[in-house]
Amino acid sequence: MSVTSTTSQPNYHILSVLVQNRSGVLARVAGLFARRGYNIFSLAVAPTEDEALSRITVVVDVESTPLEQIVKQLFKLIEVVKISELDPRRSVERELLLATVRATCDDRGQVVELANIFEGKILAVGVDAITVSLDGHPDKLDDFEELLRGYGIVELQRTGRVALPKLDREARLRAVKGKVV
């Protein structure tokens, strides 16, 4: 059982993309990634405090394509209002995981204990399976997922990460709108 951490790896970047809340925007963003051959690790979309705007949090693979090109091409989409690159070390990231794990009465207790250690929740208990949820930093979810795997995962779903810049003094939100990064 290995516990992986992705925080320090430089091969992904988090882009927080503020878009006009209009139909087809997600298709434009996804289509651009597909057309230009950029890879997406994860994607989360939701409205913001301003109902005219939505925020797309996209984690991109920058091994194949320089981030600068991705940002500039994204910014050419008319409905993209602002793009911020979030440095993983200076932002708060959260993700939600739901998993149904095989657990008979023999090892149900272990799974519940594991969920408790991670401060997860038990959502449903069946005869031979149990559904748990956990929200937190994606790394923590990785660890949890890895540990659950030993029991046998029946189904698992993660939301993809959402992120905001940290509020501390060192917080740096690099606005890269329309500029050479």
Partner 1 sequence: MKMTGAQALIKALEMEGTEVMFGLPGGCILPAYDPLLDSSIRHILVRHEQGAGHMAEGYAHVTGRPGVAMVTSGPAATNMVTPLCDAYMDSIPMVCITGQVPTSAIGTDAFQECDTVGITRSVTKHNELVMSAQDLPLAIRQAFHIATTGRPGPTLIDIPKDVLQNSMEWHWPTDAEVIDSLPGYRPTMKGHPRMIKEAARLILESERPILYVGGGVLKARAAEALVELAELTNIHVVTTLMARGAFPDSHPLCLGMPGMHGNATAITAMQQSDLLVALGARFDDRITGKVSSFAQQAKIIHVDIDPAEQGKVRRPDVPIVGDCRLVIEEIVKAIRELLATGSTQADTAVWKSRISGWREQFPLSYEPSEPGEALKPQFCLEALRDSAPPDTILVSGVGQHQMWSSQYWRFDKPYTWVNSGGLGTMGFSVPAAIGAKVGRPDATVWAIDGDGCFQMTAQELVTASTERIPVKVAILNNSYLGMVRQWQEMFYEERYSEVYLSPDTPDFVKWAEAMGCVGIRVDSPEEVQPAIDKANSIDDRPVVVDFRVAASEKVFPMVPAGFGNDDLLLPPSQMARKEFLR
| Beta carbon nearer to partner 1, 7 or 64 | 64
In the complex, least distance from residue 163 CB atom to partner 1, rounded to whole angstroms:
20
> Which of 40, 41, 67, 68 is the binder for partner 1 (CB under 8 A)?
68
Q: Is 28 an interacting residue with respect to partner 1 (CB under 8 A)?
A: yes
| Beta carbon nearer to partner 1, 77 or 122 | 77
| Beta carbon nearer to partner 1, 20 or 104 | 20
The dihedral region occupied by 179, where left means phi > 0, alpha psi between -120 and 50, and beta the remainder, is: beta
Residue listed under structure tokens 């509020």:
167
Helix (H) or strand (E) holding 113: helix 105-117
Q: Is 94 an interacting residue with respect to partner 1 (CB under 8 A)?
A: no
Distance in angstroms (rounded) separating the CA atoms of residues 19 and 54: 5
C-beta of residue 99 within 8 angstroms of C-beta of residue 155: yes
Q: Is 35 an interacting residue with respect to partner 1 (CB under 8 A)?
A: yes
> Which of 109, 126, 152, 178 is the binder for partner 1 (CB under 8 A)?
178
In the complex, least distance from residue 65 CB atom to partner 1, rounded to whole angstroms:
11
Tokens read off for 97: 């995981």
Stretch near partner 1 under the rule CB under 8 A, chosen from 21-29, 41-49, 102-110, 136-144 = 21-29
Q: What are phi and psi of 7, to 5 degrees?
A: -60, -40
Distance in angstroms (rounded) separating the CA atoms of residues 92 and 73: 26
Q: Which residues, in sequence order, are CB contacts of 103 under 8 Å at separation 6+?
A: 110, 111, 128, 129, 130, 151
In the complex, least distance from residue 181 CB atom to partner 1, rounded to whole angstroms:
10
For partner 1, the binding residues (CB under 8 A) are: 19-20, 23-24, 27-28, 31-32, 35, 66, 68-69, 72-73, 75-82, 178-180
